[in-house]
Amino acid sequence: MADSIAHPGLSAENYAAIDTALRDTDRLLLQNYPGDDGTRQPVHTVYIPADKFTRALTADWGRQALAATDRQGGLEALCTTIGTPADLVEGISARVAAKLVTEPIEDLRLDFEDGYGDRGDAEEDRHARSAAELVRRSIREGNAPPFIGIRFKSFEEPTRARGLRTLDLFVAGLLEAGSLPEGLVLTLPKVSTVAQVEAMVYACEALERFHGLEPGRLRFEVQMETPQLILAADGSVPVATLLHRGRGRVSALHYGTYDYSASLEIAAAYQAMDHPAADYAKQVMQVAAAGTGVRLSDGSTNILPLGTDENIAAAWQLHASLVRRSLERGFYQGWDLHPAQLPSRFIATYRFYLEGFSQAASRLRNYALGLESTVLDEPATARALARFIQRGLSCGALDEEEVERRSGISIAHLTSLAHPKRTSTAKDDDD
């Protein structure tokens, strides 16, 4: 009996019909779910009242952070206090010491909202202008954090006009130097509706037209501080909608621990980043932001390492455990409120990446070089492994030499594995 030959049953017309039917889906995925852009994400954001900013603030916070640990026996003692494995203590303490000298703050927000209050229009106008001037000078002198900006007042009716004016004055003041800083970040707080995000988009467009800026130059973070963004009156999930109504301008979602908890009537003693209500809100944020390229940030703890030795140790232990908890759940950024929180932030962060580095490097090496392994990793897992290592590099937990040596691949290859879409697009542009 002769072998039969199987013939495909789908015609060219069938292929064309399916392409036509999925054209809108293709466009949606391309435009609304571009994935992470591969740029650096800071591990934390520091908030200070806007009028407290000085050009020496970043270095001052680093010195205060080191002094706080010195009073308790030094960084190695703190590593031990918060449970760092003995074999990592020396390496982590050395890297954190260097970090607190060279880059103690990665992202700084000059706060004109809760941390600033209502000072009257004349005073806030003056501080908005002086903040812009100080930021310009700090960047020019090289002592500004990589990311810096303001949090202005919310778009709720009582504070809307004041928030917009502060934003307007600050942007205008920055542009007196000729251009906006690369690491500029603007934060819109207490968002409760999609319409408020659309209003911010409108304000950004108007400012860009007035100042002759490139369309899309102004982007902003949304602070998740109200339950109305998690579940609306009509049963929808506004946080998912606002990301796509933001026209590509929403850069991040920041969880606000205390405003959100208070709005749910959670007693003050139980308001915390690890409360079940916080976990639910953050999981909704995480699902909504997946694939959009919008970054996520956890909130803060207001339990500060101050007072008695016992209180200081307990606060450091709590902060380090919360930082680690966030990292394990895919929230790679959080808020810090005091210089003494910086050591526990960086120790916990560096430990997270150093503990996971050996396995990640080995698995990535096996995947990239096609070596036989007991773990069969797929492309999606390889991306996660590469991005994990990239994040460790960005914050200073890892260095390029050890990454290339242990993974067996170059940093360029690592980047292509971490962000294949971006790398492919860049290559197409070059061609």
How confident is the model at residue 372, as a pLDDT? 65
Residue 7 has pLDDT above 90, yes or no: no
pLDDT (mean) for 379-383:
89
Residue where the block lists tokens 């106008």: 125
Q: Supply angle C-alpha 272, 278, 283, rounded to 5.
A: 145
CA atoms within 13 A on the CB side of 89: 14
- Return the pLDDT at 431: 46
Q: Is the pLDDT of residue 199 over 50?
A: yes
pLDDT of residue 26: 96
Q: How confident is the model at residue 178 (pLDDT cuts 50, 70, 90)?
A: confident
As a whole-number percent, the residues of the chain with pLDDT over 70 amount to 96
The tokens describing 58, both together, are 């970043």
CATH class of segment(s) 44-338: alpha beta
Measured CA to CA, the distance from residue 431 to residue 426 in angstroms comes to 9
Among residues 253, 250, 280, the alpha carbon closest in space to that of 264 is found at 280
pLDDT attached to residue 32: 94
Q: What is the pLDDT of residues 104-128, one digit of tens each?
A: 999 999 999 999 999 999 999 999 9
pLDDT at 427 over 60: no
Helix (H) or strand (E) holding 323: helix 309-328
Q: Which helix (DSSP H) or strand (DSSP E) does residue 14 occupy?
A: helix 12-21
Evaluate if residue 430 carries a pLDDT over 60. no
Residue (of 107, 136, 199, 211) closest to 168 by Cα position: 211
How much is the pLDDT for 428? 46
Question: Residues 234-242: contacts with CB within 8 Å, 24+ apart?
Answer: 237/284, 237/288, 238/193, 238/194, 239/284, 239/285, 239/288, 240/287, 240/288, 241/194, 242/191, 242/194, 242/197
- Residue 128 confidence (pLDDT): 98
pLDDT at position 220, please? 98
Residue 375 or 199, more confident: 199
3-class SS shares of the chain: helix, strand, coil, % to 5? 55, 10, 35
Per domain, the residue ranges of the chain are: 44-338, 358-430
- What is the Cα gyration radius of the chain? 24
pLDDT average, residue stretch 89-112: 98
Give per-residue pLDDT as tens, 30-49.
999 999 999 999 999 999 99
Strands laid side by side in the 184-188 sheet: 295-297, 250-255, 220-224, 184-188, 147-151, 107-111, 44-49, 334-336
How far is residue 28 from each of residues 20, 25, 31, 260, 330, measured CA to CA in Å?
A: 14, 5, 5, 31, 25
For 278, phi then psi, to 5°, come to -70, -45
pLDDT tens digits, one per residue of 268-302: 999 999 999 999 999 999 999 999 999 999 999 99
Q: What is the mean pLDDT of the chain?
A: 94
What was the pLDDT predicted at 2?
A: 56
What's the pLDDT tens digit per position in 219-275?
999 999 999 999 999 999 999 999 999 999 999 999 999 999 999 999 999 999 999
